[in-house]
Copies of this chain bind each other. A is one copy, B any other.
Amino acid sequence: MKLIGVGVGPGDIELFTLKAINAIEEAAYIFIPESRGKSIAYDIARPLLEDKYNIIFLDIPMGCGRDLYKTYAERIFRTSEGKTSVFLTLGDPSIYSTFIYIADEIKNLGGDVSTIPGIPSFIAAAALIGEPLLRKGDKMIVCDSIDEIDLKGLDAVVVLKTLDKEKILNLLEEEGFKYFYIKRCTQKDEMVLTDRDDILKDNDYLSMIIAKRS
């Protein structure tokens, strides 16, 4: 069997690629991760899924262990019966996605995996705030924690799934960066905050900080 990790982009249905749409159309099964009955990947792709009877939801808790990924991979492998299926993933499958860990286990079972790129959330966020990320000669770091990063040589900093925001903002301010907090980019409750106190008050898993040298 083959499992294709399909990036559905950050939220706006118009940010789907043609390749992702075609892969969903042709898939034997459409596996969609959910957590406590909610699935953002499903919400995003919904207009493409309304006539589909081959959707299988997988309740994958965030940050679960390898054993659980293995269990889900076995279920995907068994269900697909040698056919090609897709696994929907928010943003792009190569950036902090659950698909990465599912793919490891599918390969261990002897299955094939591939991915179809999606618009990463930070790329859509750059468009939203109207700030280019990299000019000629610039350097950008993308991370999920700012620990042990030397900001000195960097021109842009992207922190995804922002925890410990106070520490992050302190470091960015010390180094003279301006910053934007972007929440649920291109989704219906999208929001951009730039005020330190407003940012510290907010808590949302689907958020990021983009910082630029001012």
Contacts and interface: CB of A to CB of B under 8 A. Distances in A.
Interface of A: 9, 12-19, 22, 63, 92-97, 100-101, 103, 113-120, 123-124, 126-127, 130-145, 148-150, 153-154
A143 B142 contact: no
A153 B142 contact: no
B140 A115 contact: no
A94 B16 contact: no
Contacts of A103: 132
Contacts of A100: 132, 135
Contacts of A119: 17, 117-119
A111 B185 CA distance: 25
Nearest to A96: B134
Kindly report how many copies of this chain are found in the complex they form together.
2
Given A116-B127, A139-B142, A140-B143, 16 more contacts: A9-B17, A14-B17, A92-B126, A93-B127, A94-B132, A115-B126, A115-B130, A117-B123, A119-B119, A120-B123, A134-B142, A136-B144, A137-B144, A139-B149, A141-B142, A142-B142
A154 B63 CA distance: 21
B144 A142 contact: no
A180 to B, nearest CB: 13
Contacts of A133: 94-95
Contact of A117 (B127, B137, B141): B127
Contacts of A95: 123, 132-134
Contacts of A9: 17
Given A18-B13, A123-B120, A135-B100, A113 B141 contact: no
B19 A17 contact: no
B136 A96 contact: yes
A74 B130 CA distance: 21
30 contacts: A9-B17, A14-B17, A14-B18, A14-B22, A15-B18, A15-B117, A16-B18, A17-B17, A63-B136, A92-B123, A92-B126, A93-B127, A94-B123, A94-B133, A95-B133, A96-B134, A96-B136, A115-B127, A117-B119, A117-B124, A117-B127, A120-B123, A123-B123, A137-B145, A138-B143, A139-B141, A140-B143, A141-B141, A142-B142, A150-B150
